[in-house]
A and B are shown apart, each in its own frame.
Chain A
């Protein structure tokens, strides 16, 4: 560091200082999962930009922050949105916010899905539960240049039919963008005509051109373990598999140490990783 006299440090940018955004709209996707659309509420002119797969830290006055992945279209300015599972105090508070209420937003943070690398390849997207949220910006990005990619497959699993996110969109995607959508649920009553079973079992019903396919996976860790085992069994090379990891993200800037996963900080080295970078730890317990 520079040796300067006392008191000569310039005013610093505080990475922990959020910008202000207000709630534009809240849409309930399921009983316990909602999407909030945000708009800027401060004087900064800069547009909020992000890459698919990145996340923000959302701050609710007096309650704290929560790390939440961005679920909106990165190429549509001014439409920032998060799809949030209501599970803790901060997410519950977010779910109760009304139009115009202001929250703090820090971000975007983390690595992104390899949209560029998918050029010319088939793309197999595998999502479990809320894991579809951080993959939606990836799907939007693929649709934007649909002809640059081969097949797009979306394998998506949820707990029950009522827990499925983006139900209307799922149908539109298959119609408008030629996405092969396979949806499965863990349990159901007799009104559901779709697949019932775990996500990895869907691979039974598809054929993949292993060498020309890139896979992007996001869901609960155990679901990703079984999914990746299945993907590898299909012959897709490890370096064509990407996944998004979850840990306790507290500061999002590599200071607090909570999100460590072996040598990686999920917040800044992830959350999206190429599988070879973490495969040695992936099946170890309590890393």
Chain B
């Protein structure tokens, strides 16, 4: 463990920039904390925090000048590793034949350094690794970005109102898979970062950033901050037998109840750091001799998602909500060996009607228990 003083934080950024990275970190835009290119600590949300509840997100001033004194914003790192709109192919028509070029595998990919990756988000990245680098196929767009990425993780020292990483076993303490991990300690006249090195790349960068070794008490303060965060989760999710809960309740009346509230706006899937669905679009130029294939984010909430020629496999709102939640909390486990939910709470915060996945899971459970009880007593 090392200690980096706040005044030396910019040196970390410039060390990364010198290595050719595009440095991305938190920044305030349109009254929200988003991830964007940053050049120095002054681009960070200095002294800002966020207040989150279902369908509620507000920025507030903090009493201090913390750089990471917020939980998570509407965006996640997936927009950098899995861009929302990407060109896959360029095709040139040549008489009866054509030439197809893979733009995805031939591009010079951006080399990102991410500063401020939370534990839930790091878990989300590891989950998307399994999607885009599956046992059979790898997605070049993702692989090229992911392979090059430098990750500066940050331990959460405060919990958001919709957070439940403790329930999902994905935080708040970052574990592995990072290059550097920081815990911000601010107040009582100190402002520094307790840093942990997670890779050779991270160690190389650390050489250029002034630091001293952290003594036991220095590291201990950071530990306590993270422990306290774990004690103050805004939400909890009961994950006991959750896979079976979802699979056994395909016909639950509760889905009708959610469907009556859900607007099918797809916000939850856009803000979710693990949702990975996409669709493709084909276009030609006016000459008709040049065509492109683009990939863009899609959502299982859209009407066309289950559409095939001559029909639609999932026309009802209830089936589409069920698909999302069942996939996220249950079938994901079959597909990728882990839940698709990392407990970041974004889907709760950014749902315009305040649908709360933890509350829906609980309601489903209660409903299921009630029905079982009725069956066993013969009511």
Contact = CB atoms under 8 A, between A and B. Distances in A.
Range, interface on chain A: 35 or more
Contacts of A287: 250, 313-314, 319, 323
A7 B280 contact: no
B313 A247 contact: yes
6 contacts: A11-B106, A254-B131, A254-B134, A255-B139, A284-B250, A287-B313
Interface of B: 19-21, 88-89, 91, 93, 96-98, 100, 102, 104-106, 111, 129, 131-134, 136-140, 143-144, 146-148, 179, 199-201, 247, 250-251, 276-280, 282-284, 288, 291, 293, 298, 300, 305-310, 313-316, 318-319, 322-323, 326-327, 330-331, 334-335
A247 B314 CA distance: 10
B306 to A, nearest CB: 6
Interface in A49-84: 59, 61-65
Given A17-B105, A62-B282, A256-B279, A6 B21 contact: yes
A104 interface: yes
A17 B291 contact: no
B280 A250 contact: yes
Contacts of A260: 300, 323, 327, 331
A22 B97 contact: yes
A253 interface: yes
Contacts of B308: 246-248
Nearest to B143: A12
A44 B98 CA distance: 15
Given A14-B105, A17-B89, 5 more contacts: A6-B111, A102-B96, A102-B98, A256-B280, A258-B277
Contacts of A100: 96
A263 B137 contact: no
A170 B106 CA distance: 48
Interface of A: 1-9, 11-18, 20, 22, 41, 59, 61-65, 87-88, 91, 100-102, 104, 246-248, 250-251, 253-258, 260, 262-263, 265, 268, 280-281, 284-287
B105 A256 contact: no
A1 B105 contact: no
Contacts of B300: 257, 260
Nearest to A254: B134
B91 A61 contact: yes
Given A9-B148, A253-B137, A3 B319 contact: no
Closest 7 CB pairs of A and B: A286-B319, A257-B277, A263-B334, A263-B331, A62-B284, A62-B291, A14-B102
A250 B300 CA distance: 13
A286 B307 CA distance: 11
A248 B335 contact: no
Given A18-B100, A41-B97, A263 B335 contact: yes
Nearest to A280: B247
Nearest to A252: B137
A1 B354 CA distance: 37
A248 B91 CA distance: 24
Contacts of B277: 256-258
Contact of A286 (B111, B134, B316, B334): B316
Given A6-B111, A248-B308, A258-B305, A12 B138 contact: yes
Contact of B146 (A1, A62, A262): A1
A12 B313 contact: no
Contact of B131 (A4, A59, A255, A286): A255
A260 B328 CA distance: 12
